[in-house]
Chain A
Amino acid sequence: MRRFYLPAVLLLLLGLASGQTGSSYITPELQRLIQAGGQSYASALLRQDPGQALCSTHRNRLPAEVLGPFIEEQRKTIRYPADGKLMGDWKQGDAIFNTLARGNCFSCHVGSPRNIGGNVGPSLEKYGQRGTSEAVQKYTYEVIYNTWAYFPCTVMYRFGHGGLLKPEEIAHVVAYLLDPASDFNTKPALRR
């Protein structure tokens, strides 16, 4: 038992010493190239996580044998608000959805009555028509928290997973989309 253990530890230490990233996409040669871009650049890129590495390797089209475990891993990352409420305050959600430096949702999705939407993502116009059942709330929350659990390798940010929005903030956005009283559902969407 011990005989197998020692080489493994040595290999691990060797890996750490040579600055290996653990990412399967970043070859040692690519790592040296990235390091030539400066310290802060390198520290951001070399922190590539295994999910990002898979999407990079397969150019965003995961083969069937990878897909299942990938989705499983992404699902595991999802955290919920401490109070368990997946629908927060739609007015706070409005501010997040419509602010470039926060959610920036409008840049890719049509549906906001305050900003002209983009077409990178699907239209969310009258999203509230789906009702506010537990299943709809959960789906909406989880897609925003970690969209790769539903749409592997898509462009939409994994807001919760990436630390861009807190669970409570995501719940506010869910309310903005689902609450029948929300401006999102009572006012017409702006489009080009």
Chain B
Amino acid sequence: MGRFWRLVGAAVLALSGLFVLAQEEDDPVKEAEKQKKQLLEQSGGILPSDLFVAQGEQLFKAKRGPKNASLEACDFGRGPGKLEGVVGRLPRYFFDTRKVEDLDSRIRSCMINLQGFRPEEIRRSEVVAIAFYIASLSNEQPMTVRPLMPQEKRLYELGERLFYLRAGPRDMSCATCHVTYVGKRAGVLPYSDILKDKRAASHWPAFRYSNDQGWTMADRIRGCYTVLGMPAPDFYSEPIIALTLFMNVQANGVRMDLPGFIR
């Protein structure tokens, strides 16, 4: 008799375990934490994003390009060489380039202006690695993007307008999924809430365990356009910077989780 009840107890425990597991998979944040833990155990404490960061640090500090210079003099908004927390203050206007720039395009500008690379020589994989390195120095810093300059205000407004623009053969806009159908599910994950969930925009660049790639916000935006049957805007182009500015402002105040680790 006692053995029977022990068996029943074990079965009930196993079933409730399954139930909890099924529930956890519904929350993308918890699911990502689980995956992160698994990866850490398998690799002995190293995450793939750590490798991006290490590679980025090397690229950042090495003397490279026609001018044989490192990127250490690059100003990301807090002065040359000051990297702490800068990701939470981008995109912003820069006087030297006379443009509003995000993390990716600022790295590119410095590779061109400080190191002397020609635009066509800039490798995307290097920009992503450098972005991961810089992001690692902004971890747990607050997002504080305040469009105050006229150029920033203008780009913010255009970014918002672009966010709600419906177009293409599928009549899509960013807002269709990330405002109107927030929390609903078409496929694996529920849509993130760009306007209200400050975590949504504040974990880029991020490692994606589902495809084993390092993505910046630019890759995320381009991916959204592509899966909806529209051509993506060029890397480092104004539409990407405008959308990033709009979304980062929505995340103001949150402590950033960088580099992100997501599905």
B234 contacts which of A38, A119, A148 (Cβ < 8 Å)? A38
B231 touches A44 (CB 8 A): yes
CB neighbours (8 Å) of B164 from chain A are 56, 59
A45–B181 alpha-carbon span in the complex (Å)? 22
Q: Please choose the segment from B43-51, B72-80, B165-173, B201-209 that sits at the chain A interface, where 4 or more of its residues have CB less than 8 A away.
A: B165-173
**Contacts A38-B233, A40-B231 hold; do A45 and B165 have CB atoms under 8 A apart?**
yes
CB neighbours (8 Å) of B185 from chain A are 118-120
A157 touches B171 (CB 8 A): yes
Closest A residue to B239 using CB positions = A37
B230 touches A44 (CB 8 A): yes
Interface size class of A (residues with CB under 8 A): 35 or more
Tell me the residues in window 36-75 of chain A with beta carbons closer than 8 Å to chain B beta carbons.
36-38, 40-41, 43-45, 47-48, 52, 55-56, 59-60
A149–B107 alpha-carbon span in the complex (Å)? 47
Query: What is the total number of residues of chain B having a CB less than 8 Å from a CB of chain A?
Result: 35
B184 touches A118 (CB 8 A): yes
A26–B167 alpha-carbon span in the complex (Å)? 11
B167 touches A44 (CB 8 A): yes
A118 touches B186 (CB 8 A): yes
B184 touches A34 (CB 8 A): no
A60–B171 alpha-carbon span in the complex (Å)? 11
Tell me the residues in window 154-185 of chain B with beta carbons closer than 8 Å to chain A beta carbons.
154-155, 158, 161-162, 164-173, 175-177, 180-181, 184-185
A33 touches B171 (CB 8 A): no
Q: Please choose the segment from A158-166, A168-176, A179-187 that sits at the chain B interface, where 4 or more of its residues have CB less than 8 A away.
A: A158-166
Tell me the residues in window 121-173 of chain B with beta carbons closer than 8 Å to chain A beta carbons.
154-155, 158, 161-162, 164-173
Min Cβ gap A51→B in Å is 8
Residues of B near any A CB (own CB < 8 A)? 154-155, 158, 161-162, 164-173, 175-177, 180-181, 184-187, 225, 230-234, 237-240, 242
Residues of A near any B CB (own CB < 8 A)? 25-27, 29-30, 33-34, 36-38, 40-41, 43-45, 47-48, 52, 55-56, 59-60, 107-108, 118-120, 148, 153, 155, 157-158, 162-164
